């Protein structure tokens, strides 16, 4: 147990994949979107469809660049899509 704690503290101090800063960009043809851009669009769309800020617990995202759409499901029961 003590060994696991010291390994965890070392990873937090030096970095690890989990703590590394990440930048993900989806590119298709002449368009590119960051995950932050996509999530912002999803949030705005879901809020406009009656989901309150406090209701977000889980968001599943399906990116279909060939259709220029991003489909999402909030909490397993609110479906929607936004333009890519």
Per-domain residue ranges of the chain:
25-83
pLDDT of residue 46: 95
Q: Once rounded to an integer, what is the mean pLDDT over residues 32-42?
A: 94
Nearest CA to 11 among 76, 23, 3? 3
Predicted model pTM: 0.73
- d(C-alpha 45, C-alpha 19), whole Å: 29
**pLDDT tens digits, residue range 46-59?**
999 989 999 999 99
Chain-wide mean pLDDT for the chain?
A: 88
């Amino acid at each position: 147990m003590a060994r696991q704690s010291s390994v965890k503290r070392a990873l937090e101090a030096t970095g690890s994949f989990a703590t590394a800063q990440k930048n993900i960009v989806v590119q298709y043809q002449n368009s590119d979107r960051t995950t932050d851009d996509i999530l912002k669009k999803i949030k705005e769309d879901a809020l406009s469809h009656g989901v309150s800020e406090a209701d977000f617990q889980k968001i599943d995202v399906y990116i279909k660049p060939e259709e220029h759409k991003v489909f999402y499901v909030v909490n397993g029961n609110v479906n929607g899509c936004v333009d890519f």
